[in-house]
Amino acid sequence: MADIDTKSIMNKEKGFTTQLVHSERLQNLESGAIHQPAHHSVLFAYDKAEDLVDVFQGRSKNHSYARQSTPSVNVLQNTLTQLEKGHSSLVFATGMAALTTTMLTLLKAGDHVIFSQFIFGNTNSFTQTLSQYGIEVDCIDITSCTDIKQAIKSNTRMLFCETIANPVTQVADIKAMKDLCQPHNIVLVVDNTMTPSYLFNAQAHGADLIVTSLTKYFGGHGNVLGGAVVDTGNYDWQNYPNILDTYKNNDPKTWAITQIKKKGLRDMGASLSSDSVHLLSVGSETLAMRLDKSCSTAHKLAEFLQQHEKINRVYYPGLKSHPQYQIARQQFKYPGAILSFDLVDSIDCLAFINQLKVILCSTHLGDNRTLAIPVAPTIYYEMGLARRQKMGIKEGMIRLSVGIEDGEDLIEDISQALDKC
Ligand SMILES: *Cc1c(COP(=O)(O)O)cnc(C)c1O
């Protein structure tokens, strides 16, 4: 039941949305239900004690206790594995839970991790937590291969980056990073939250582990939190020194996910609820259509803002002026739906945001609604000025997460707000 159905419709030749909207149905063929039920049972009981023993000892894929797995969670995991063309997946209560659990269970004191210096604020904060546990951390400019090469040490275990960072939209060259990691057996961990699998095939570009916030584009409707880690199957875990012997009894491809599941999901407990699974899977059905719309509108907005006299600079990887324009073109179907801009110095960014009528002033991204946020005094406030400057964040910078509204309404909203400033 937990295995992916291999009927022709789930065949890899089929398009993204065809696979996605039929995935649950094909994993639940007995009843014909198109949605997987939200299983609320915490415990799973067996007529024969031997069957429960088999679950505990990994010989059976059935369930024992909902903190570790449920039939509902398995279906979402299978769907994610299929969409990412990976080997296996685990889902979590939030994106941060997926990320922190992965790192805390695969790293140990004395290891070294290289982080991109262009990362989500909470991930940046987490790097400090890792340091407190005796894990060495370096945050570097991953757009420079020279900087990556110089940062690699004999104890480097992981290289972590986001595909498109926010708010400045630096793009990571995943293939180039893979080439630098491979000779040293460094695990390439890619946060693809900004570019879900519809936009970017992380597996084919060489990512080893994908971590993602399902809260953003995947769910898309601002009503549910979730996260996932996907093992793409690219890394040979026989070369990784931190896998515990207990988890080495199966196919080496399963080792890392098993350790993350047992040490991380089971022992730390950030499990995704079955109700959240349902909301995520319903929300995700329109992922491709939402991204088509949001990315195309983001591109138009970037071009509009770029020529406006009250805008100093626009950051969007679809603009020819963007430093990684060519990489973004090669890697992604579209260069994302996040853009940032600096107003001319005479305009206060808070005053501008206060004039917006359609666009909401809110944190979060990947929503159906377009959201604007002044980043320095909010999501990047805690890290301080020096770190913001290292990330290329100007104090008056505004980030836009472009939703699915009609593009003309968004342009008009921004125009009227600029006129009033
Ligand atoms: C939001 C976000 C996360 C964290 O996800 P949550 O689901 O909010 O915990 C991680 N990485 C990136 C790039 C994000 O945008």
Q: Which residues contact 188 (CB under 8 A, 6 or more apart)?
A: 158, 159, 174, 177, 178, 181, 206, 207, 208, 209, 234, 235
For the whole model, what pTM was predicted?
Answer: 0.95
Q: What is the pLDDT of residue 11?
A: 61
Q: Which residues pair with 90 in a beta bridge?
A: 229
195 and 85, same structural domain?
A: yes
Ligand 1 center–CA 15 separation, angstroms: 27
236 and 96, same structural domain?
A: yes
Q: Stretch 29-34: mean pLDDT, rounded?
A: 84
* Average pLDDT score over the chain: 95
**Distance, CA of 218 to CA of 286 (rounded, Å):** 9
Q: What residues make up the domain containing 397?
A: 288-419
Closest to 376 (Cα-Cα) out of 414, 342, 330: 342
Cα–Cα distances in angstroms (integers) from residue 206 to residues 104, 152, 159, in the given order: 22, 18, 12
In this model, does residue 3 exceed pLDDT 60? no
Ligand 1 center–CA 282 separation, angstroms: 20
The reply to whether ligand 1 has any atom less than 6 angstroms from the CB of 19 is no
Assess if residue 119 is contained within a domain: no
State pLDDT tens for residues 358-377. Answer: 999 999 999 999 999 999 99
399 and 295, same structural domain?
A: yes
Atom 2 (ligand 1) nearest CA = 213
Assess if residue 203 is contained within a domain: yes
- What are the structure tokens assigned to 394, written together? 């100007």
Residue entry with tokens 């941060």: 96
Q: Stretch 91-113: mean pLDDT, rounded?
A: 98
323 and 257, same structural domain?
A: no
- Total domains present in the chain: 2
Ligand 1 center–CA 43 separation, angstroms: 30
Closest to 227 (Cα-Cα) out of 69, 102, 65, 368: 102
386 and 336, same structural domain?
A: yes
What's the pLDDT band for 5 if we cut at 50, 70, 90? Answer: very low
The reply to whether ligand 1 has any atom less than 6 angstroms from the CB of 105 is no
State pLDDT tens for residues 215-273. Answer: 999 999 999 999 999 999 999 999 999 999 999 988 999 999 999 999 999 999 999 99
The reply to whether ligand 1 has any atom less than 6 angstroms from the CB of 366 is no
Assess if residue 118 is contained within a domain: no
Q: Stretch 37-59: mean pLDDT, rounded?
A: 95
Closest to 204 (Cα-Cα) out of 226, 177, 174: 174
Q: What is the pLDDT of residue 348?
A: 96
Q: Among 237, 266, 284, where does a domain finish? A: 284
**Distance, CA of 256 to CA of 83 (rounded, Å):** 20
The reply to whether ligand 1 has any atom less than 6 angstroms from the CB of 193 is yes
271 and 355, same structural domain?
A: no
Closest to 217 (Cα-Cα) out of 192, 243, 181: 192
Give 236-241's long-range contacts (Cβ < 8 A, gap of 24+): 239/185, 240/106, 240/157, 240/185, 240/187, 241/157
State pLDDT tens for residues 262-277. Answer: 999 999 999 999 999 9
Q: Among 284, 310, 342, where does a domain finish? A: 284
Q: What is the pLDDT of residue 12?
A: 63
What's the pLDDT band for 1 if we cut at 50, 70, 90? Answer: very low
The reply to whether ligand 1 has any atom less than 6 angstroms from the CB of 225 is yes
324 and 223, same structural domain?
A: no
Ligand 1 center–CA 96 separation, angstroms: 6
Assess if residue 348 is contained within a domain: yes
225 and 97, same structural domain?
A: yes
Ligand 1 center–CA 214 separation, angstroms: 8
State pLDDT tens for residues 59-74. Answer: 999 999 999 999 999 9
117 backbone dihedrals φ, ψ, rounded to 5°: -80, -5
**Distance, CA of 209 to CA of 190 (rounded, Å):** 6
What's the pLDDT band for 30 if we cut at 50, 70, 90? Answer: confident
Q: What is the CATH number of the domain that holds 261?
A: 3.40.640.10
Assess if residue 179 is contained within a domain: no
Ligand 1 atom closest to Cα of 98?
Answer: 9
Q: Among 284, 300, 321, where does a domain finish? A: 284
Cα–Cα distances in angstroms (integers) from residue 99 to residues 93, 351, 368, in the given order: 11, 35, 24
